[in-house]
Amino acid sequence: MALLSILKYPDPRLHTVAEPVDEVDEATRCLVGDMAETMYAAPGIGLAATQVDVHKRVIVLDISESKDQLLVLINPEIVASSGQIECEEGCLSVPGIFEKVIRAEEIRVRALDRDGITFDFDASGLLSVCVQHEMDHLEGKVFVDYLSPLKQERIVKKLRKAERLAI
Ligand code: NI
């Protein structure tokens, strides 16, 4: 396994729309392993392949405290959704920025697991928000895209400044 580097907003590659995975093979499982390692090391609770510059529909998540409940979603789809929830979100591609976003409160998700088997599950609360956030990445969308242009501009300035300080 290997740690992958995470693209940082406003990198234009974050706006790439990911392609479906045709076959869940060894290369896919290798990507999943590397993404999980990268997410845990960051540390983060979710990572989409888009964020590591691989434009395939693959997501890893773990919202557990114990960090031992890895959820792998390949070619995920939201097949039903209801309600509304507003949550303060952050993103490994937008370090240090937390903003409120409105999402569906409850969703039913269908995806392939790391063995290529289709499964369904219902998610609410944080898991629901997290799945929707990561699925947005696969559509080339970052959570700051939901904010006003003024807020987006401020975030870009703040991140550029932080980058300069880091050098
Ligand atoms: Ni994110």
- Alpha carbon of 141 to ligand 1 centroid (Å): 9
Answer yes or no: is 5 within a domain: no
The pLDDT, as a whole number, for residue 163 is 83
Catalytic residue check, 89: no
What letter would DSSP give residue 43? T
The whole-angstrom distance between residue 82's C-alpha and the CA centroid of its chain comes to: 21
Residue type, 164: R
Q: How far apart are CA 147 and CA 46, in angstroms?
A: 21
- Alpha carbon of 165 to ligand 1 centroid (Å): 23
55 in Cβ contact with 49 (< 8 Å): yes
The residue annotated as part of the active site, out of 19, 37, 134, 139, is 134
pTM above 0.85, yes or no: yes
Answer yes or no: is 7 within a domain: no
> How many separate domains does the chain show?
1
Average pLDDT value for residue range 142-159 = 95
- Alpha carbon of 143 to ligand 1 centroid (Å): 7
- Alpha carbon of 10 to ligand 1 centroid (Å): 12
The pLDDT, as a whole number, for residue 162 is 86
Answer yes or no: is 98 within a domain: yes
CATH of the domain at 139: 3.90.45.10
Answer yes or no: is 144 within a domain: yes
How many CB atoms lie under 10 A from the CB of residue 51? 30
Could you tell me the pLDDT band of residue 108, with boundaries at 50, 70 and 90?
Answer: very high
Q: How far apart are CA 57 and CA 54, in angstroms?
A: 9
Boundaries of domain holding 34: 12-166
- Compute CA distances 122 → 69, 77, 131, 162, whole Å: 16, 12, 11, 38
